[in-house]
């Protein structure tokens, strides 16, 4: 299947083949993938409201009307060691999905990120004649580049969301389309800082965001660091007769109360305001954010809020990754422009004293702060012209109505 056979036109949102009765299985394994998948499902429903959806995911896909027969909440892990600890459980869910699509083959299998798991499912599906659309390709340009040739064998089409990825995959003869990044449409500043704070019912004062991630492993490794950093910054402000900060902590749907329970006393001591949902309002309410690496860095960047990136993995995971990763930066806000816009504090360098020093500089040095805001403002235009979710939905629609090669 090549680009010529896939009509990427987005001129019409209406299906030209109503009543198709097509079925789609869609699989997402973490919060960002769940959100991207849900936006694609809504756009695909606009093209053909008669498509039925089932699969693996979370609240966002469920809200989009997908019949979720495997909840992803216990599958969102990061790091090699962490995956090994849950290997048997994860494998059981893979087998469950394989059995499901074998017993009731869908017209299309859409796999959203969640790389190792979804690549195994893609290989199985291709082996039994099911069409596979892989949405958000593996970052083979960052590590294990030879994996690019594997993708050509296990997918019918790959939809990538970073502009430089298309040429990389084309060189390996992978059928690929750059659909644009879905966040360019989703993440739009719609409130001033003051309006965002009012929407959240929090005080209109200097606010620091603590964003430890959306997985339990990230919480356990980063929360102690972020809370200690917050204490140091607050102490610095007291010593310099500056007004105290307000701290906000967004709680992702994939995080449960048990994940935060060990930190209750410190959260209360710092008067940290925990907020569920309204993630973009939380971002817009902040002056500066301390964030885990991942999709959140791009969401924060698109809303032009200065930040500090913090990352810490299990020691063995980080050691292995350091030997095979071939890029200089971890945060998308640095990867996309190809230079460091935001400071990254990784593994042993993720010490509260250094993170606090960078956050204090952002809070106190107006020129430094405004320069980072300006650099972040340039990222959006590097991600394409928009309509990312609609473009990948059109790609899926065309695959549903084209013969299997």
Domains and CATH numbers, the chain: 3-181+384-400 (3.40.50.2000), 193-382 (3.40.50.2000)
**DSSP structure string for 256-320:** -HHHHGGGHHHHHHTT-EEEES-HHHHHHH-SEEEEESSHHHHHHHHTT--EEEEE---HHHHHH
User: Counting Cβ atoms within 10 Å, is residue 255 exposed (0-12), middle (13-18) or buried (19+)?
Assistant: buried
**DSSP structure string for 149-164:** HHHHHH-SEEEE-STT
Structure tokens given for 76: 């969102």
| Residue 269 CB partners (closer than 8 Å, separation 6+) | none
pTM of the model: 0.76
pLDDT at position 395 is 97
pLDDT at position 275 is 95
Report how far Cα 375 is from the mean position of its chain's Cα atoms: 21
**DSSP structure string for 66-86:** -EEEEEGGGT---SHHHHHHT
Q: What is the DSSP letter of 193?
A: H
Residue 187, by phi and psi: left (phi above 0), alpha (psi -120 to 50) or beta?
beta
One pLDDT digit (tens) per residue for the chain, 405 residues = 334 334 433 333 333 444 468 999 999 998 889 999 999 999 999 999 999 999 999 999 999 999 999 999 877 655 555 566 677 889 999 999 999 999 999 999 999 999 889 999 999 999 999 999 999 988 766 556 677 888 999 999 999 998 888 988 998 899 999 999 989 988 999 999 999 999 999 999 999 999 998 887 889 899 999 999 999 999 999 999 999 999 999 998 777 788 889 999 999 999 999 999 899 999 999 999 999 988 899 999 999 999 999 998 766 666 666 655 656 788 999 999 989 999 999 988 999 999 999 999 999 999 999 999 999 999 998 887 789 999 999 999 999 998 765
Q: At what angle do helices 216-239 and 352-364 cross, to 10 degrees?
A: 60
| Residue 257 CB partners (closer than 8 Å, separation 6+) | none
Distance CA 86, CA 75 (A): 8
């Amino acid at each position: 299947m090549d680009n010529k056979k896939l009509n990427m036109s987005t001129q019409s949102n209406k299906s030209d083949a109503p009543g198709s009765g097509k079925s789609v299985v869609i699989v997402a394994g973490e919060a960002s993938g769940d959100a991207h998948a849900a936006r694609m499902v809504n756009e695909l429903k606009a093209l053909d409201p008669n498509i039925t959806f089932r699969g693996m995911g979370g609240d966002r896909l469920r809200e989009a009307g997908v019949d979720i027969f495997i909840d992803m909440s216990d599958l969102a892990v990061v790091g090699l060691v962490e995956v090994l600890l849950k290997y048997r459980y994860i494998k059981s869910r893979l087998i469950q999905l394989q059995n499901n699509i074998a017993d009731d083959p869908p017209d299309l299998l859409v796999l959203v990120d969640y790389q190792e798991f979804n690549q195994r499912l893609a290989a199985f599906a291709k082996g039994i004649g099911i069409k596979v659309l892989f949405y958000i390709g593996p970052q083979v340009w960052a590590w294990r580049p030879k994996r690019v040739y594997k993708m050509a064998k296990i997918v019918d089409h790959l939809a990538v969301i970073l502009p430089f990825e298309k040429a990389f995959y084309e060189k390996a003869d992978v059928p690929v389309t750059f659909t644009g990044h879905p966040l360019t449409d989703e993440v739009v500043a719609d409130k001033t800082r003051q309006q965002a704070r009012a929407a959240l019912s929090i005080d209109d004062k200097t606010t620091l965001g603590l964003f430890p991630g959306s997985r339990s492993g990230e919480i356990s490794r980063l929360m102690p660091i972020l809370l200690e950093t917050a204490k140091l910054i607050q102490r610095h402000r007291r010593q310099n007769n500056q007004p105290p900060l307000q701290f906000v902590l967004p709680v992702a749907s994939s995080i449960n109360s048990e994940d935060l329970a060990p930190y209750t006393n410190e959260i209360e001591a710092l008067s940290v305001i925990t907020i569920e949902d309204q993630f973009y309002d939380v971002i817009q309410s902040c002056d500066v954010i301390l964030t885990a690496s991942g999709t959140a860095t791009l969401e924060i960047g698109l809303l032009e809020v200065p930040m500090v990136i913090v990352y810490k993995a299990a020691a063995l995971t980080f050691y292995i990754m350091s030997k095979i990763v071939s890029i200089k930066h971890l945060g998308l806000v640095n990867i996309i422009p190809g230079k460091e816009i935001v400071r990254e504090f990784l593994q042993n360098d993720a010490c509260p004293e250094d993170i606090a020093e960078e956050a204090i500089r952002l809070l106190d040095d107006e020129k430094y702060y405004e320069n980072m805001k300006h650099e972040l403002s340039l990222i959006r235009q590097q991600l394409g012209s928009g309509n990312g979710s609609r473009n990948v939905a059109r790609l899926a629609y065309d695959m549903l109505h084209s013969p299997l090669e």
